[in-house]
Amino acid sequence: MTTRTKITGAVLGAAVAGALALVPLTDDGSGGEADSSNVILGTAEKEAVPSFTATDWVSYGDQVAVVRVTAEHERRDTDTDTDEGAGTEEDYLSRTVDLQVEELVWARSDAPALPPTVSVTADGWQLKDGTKKELGSPDSSRLEVGHDYVITFARFSDGTWSPLGSGGVLPYDHGRIGEGEFQGETGTADAYRSTWEERLIPGDEQPMAFRTAGKPATGVQGILRSTTPDATAARYFGLDPAARYQKVAGASEPADTFCSVAAPLAVSEDSRHTPDELASVLTDLADLAGPAGKDTSALRRYARSLEAGAGTSASVDDTARKASVARIEQECGTEVGELLPTDTETDTGKG
């Protein structure tokens, strides 16, 4: 994959790690709006790891530090461009920035040590007809040379360090959060706070940008020390942040219920089940049925009789079958018919 890529419909910046710079341009390749500083802002893109709240920072971050951007570098292909008309279309020039760590603010227990200097991928430039225009992400900083920031860092599985995400980068010029570069412009802490106040959602945890605007870095430290990480994330601190978040996202999926497992058995679903498949579903239902009782025992007995007679003409436990039908239909209001295997070709063809 080249680092000088056509930007039409592309995702800009870091596609791995915290995805600090994820800026897809519009379909016509023009990007988003250009602000008064001529920075083209793209549209927001979902990031690999959540990064806006204190819970996000302590659940997925490793270190929080005050840093200064000391240099930026344009990344071009090592191979010579051979495309016809190169530079006459809209291209994307990738950018990396060098960060000098000035102060360590917070660290997760047992987190790896943050190096004194870190190079990360940030929003780059649009190149059109030989003219470069800065590209930025909405509600985030570009990371401009000479500016200070408070950043929550994470180390990812490939060993690289990166900001956790766009919500983990706070302007910090003059020792005040919110002062400095944001969306390519230099602004005040009051303006920064107002911007985030407009984005608050009642009932949701407030973003760190809003909670800390106007405060020194010690304000961040105090909040993080009193914040409890997500319980699932805490169990997987041995994984990198992206893998850890996948565990958390998976844990938030609705758990199976008796009726959700029974749903494919409905006559209306016209599902096909071999004796072994039907037995497996019935065993799962018995596990979800709660304390042992007559109906639960019937589910297990019917499942065992299906397994014992799979692929043969052996009779199933008809009494247990009828009791299983009654249990499912009574609890779920789902008509399951005779609750017999409907796919026996795989078994009967064996010789």
pLDDT at residue 37 in the model: 54
Q: Tell me which of 329 and 208 has the higher pLDDT.
A: 208
Per-residue pLDDT band at 343 (split at 50, 70, 90): low
- 15-25 as b/e: b if 16+ CB within 10 A: eebbbbbbbbb
- pLDDT, tens digit (0-9, with 9 covering 90-100), for 305-320: 888 876 555 678 889 8
d(CA 298, CA 311): 21
What percent of the chain is modeled with pLDDT above 90? 45
Q: Which of 115-119, 143-147, 311-315 has the lowest mean pLDDT?
A: 311-315
> Mean of the per-residue pLDDT values for the chain?
80
Mean pLDDT computed over 175-203? 95
Interval 146-170 mean pLDDT: 95
Instruction: Give yes or no for residue 67 having a pLDDT over 70.
Output: yes
C-beta separation of 120 from 99 below 8 A: yes
**pLDDT band for position 151 (cuts 50, 70, 90):** very high
Q: Would the pLDDT of 160 be above 90?
A: yes
* Mean pLDDT value across residues 165-171: 95
Picking from 190, 335, 344, 198, the residue whose alpha carbon sits closest to that of residue 272 is 344
Assess whether pLDDT exceeds 70 at residue 120.
yes
Average pLDDT score over residue span 208-222: 96
Please tell me the predicted confidence (pLDDT) of residue 203. Answer: 92
User: CA–CA separation, 67 vs 115, rounded Å?
Assistant: 11
Mean pLDDT of 71-80: 69
Phi/psi at 247 (5° precision): -65, -40
Per-residue model confidence as pLDDT tens digits over 235-257: 999 999 999 999 998 865 555 68
d(CA 90, CA 49): 29
Q: Which of 13-27, 71-85, 315-329 has the highest mean pLDDT?
A: 315-329
